[in-house]
Amino acid sequence: MFEDLKWLIELQKVDRAIYQLTGEERTIDSKITRLNSEIEELTLNKLKSVRKQKEYFEDKESYQEDILDHERILGQKKSDLDNEKKTKKEHIKREVKKLEKALQVFQDKLNKLDEENHVLEEDITDKEEKIEELKKRIKSKNTKINKIAKTNKEEIEKLNRKKKRIEKKIRKPFLNHYYRILNIRNGIAITYVTPDGLCNGCKIHIPYQFQQKIKLSEDYNICEGCGRILVTDNFLD
Ligand SMILES: [Zn+2]
C-alpha cells in the first residue's frame, strides 16, 4: 500500500478516538455558545428598555414643570377672582376653567407615562433575572466540561503522543491536506467506498473505474464531493 496512506489511516484512527472522547465537551461547548448569544440578545433588549426609561424620566420632569407652572397661574387667577370687579370676573372664570382642563390633561399624560414605566420596570427586572439564570447554567456547564476534560486528560495525552509519532512518517503535503479536511468534515478525513459504490462521507457516486483505482491503494484518491481521502475498506468500525 501507498506508504503515506497507510500512516494516514493510522492517524485517522487516533484522531477518531480523540474526536469521540471530546464529543461531549463539544456538545456542551456549543450549548454554552447558544446560551451566550441568548444573554447577548437579552442584554440588548434590556438596554432598549433602559433607554426608554431614560426618556420617561425626561418626559415626566417636563410634565411636572408644566403642571407646576399651570398651578401657579391658576392660584394667581383664583386670587384675582376675589379682588377684581364683577365685570372682569366672568372672563377670569373662563380662564380658570381652561387652566384646570389643561392641568387635567397634563396629569392624565403623567399617569399614562407612569403606567408605561411600570411595564418597562417589570420588563427590565424580568430580563435581568433571565440573564442571571443563563449565567448560572453556563457556569455549571463549564464545571462539567472541566470535569470531563480532567477525566480524559491522560487518555488524550497518550493519543496525542501517538499522533506525533505517526505524523513524522507522513509527508507534509499529505498531512496538510488531511488536517484541512479533518477540520471541515467533522473529524473524518478518510472514508471508504460503500458496497453500492458511494462515498460514505458525502454519498456521491464513485465511478466504477475510480473505484478500481481506489482498490489498488497505490495512490492518494480524493472524493470530488467532499474532499475526503477514499479507501476501499471501512477501517474505523
Ligand atoms: Zn465524498
Taking the centre of ligand 1 as the mean of its atom positions, its distance from the CA of residue 198, in whole angstroms, is 8
Strand, helix or coil for residue 205: strand
Taking the centre of ligand 1 as the mean of its atom positions, its distance from the CA of residue 165, in whole angstroms, is 28
Taking the centre of ligand 1 as the mean of its atom positions, its distance from the CA of residue 79, in whole angstroms, is 94
C-beta contacts of 216-225 below 8 A and 24+ residues apart: 217/1, 217/2, 217/5, 218/1, 218/2, 219/2, 220/2, 220/4, 220/5, 220/174, 222/177, 223/191, 223/199, 225/199, 225/201
| Total residue length of the chain | 237
Cβ–Cβ under 8 Å, residues 78 and 96: yes
Taking the centre of ligand 1 as the mean of its atom positions, its distance from the CA of residue 16, in whole angstroms, is 17
Taking the centre of ligand 1 as the mean of its atom positions, its distance from the CA of residue 217, in whole angstroms, is 17
Taking the centre of ligand 1 as the mean of its atom positions, its distance from the CA of residue 26, in whole angstroms, is 24
> What's the chain's average pLDDT?
94
pLDDT at 1: 64
Cβ–Cβ under 8 Å, residues 12 and 236: yes
Query: What percentage of residues in the chain have a pLDDT greater than 70?
Result: 100
Per-residue pLDDT tens over the stretch 112-158: 999 999 999 999 999 999 999 999 999 999 999 999 999 999 999 99
Instruction: Grade residue 215 by pLDDT with cuts at 50, 70 and 90.
Output: very high
Taking the centre of ligand 1 as the mean of its atom positions, its distance from the CA of residue 222, in whole angstroms, is 8
Per-residue pLDDT tens over the stretch 151-206: 999 999 999 999 999 999 999 999 999 999 999 999 999 999 999 999 999 999 99
Cβ–Cβ under 8 Å, residues 155 and 21: yes
Amino acid at 32: I
| Structural domains of the chain ordered from first start | 20-169 (1.10.287), 171-232 (no CATH)
Taking the centre of ligand 1 as the mean of its atom positions, its distance from the CA of residue 225, in whole angstroms, is 5
Taking the centre of ligand 1 as the mean of its atom positions, its distance from the CA of residue 221, in whole angstroms, is 11
Question: Model-level pTM?
Answer: 0.74
Taking the centre of ligand 1 as the mean of its atom positions, its distance from the CA of residue 168, in whole angstroms, is 27
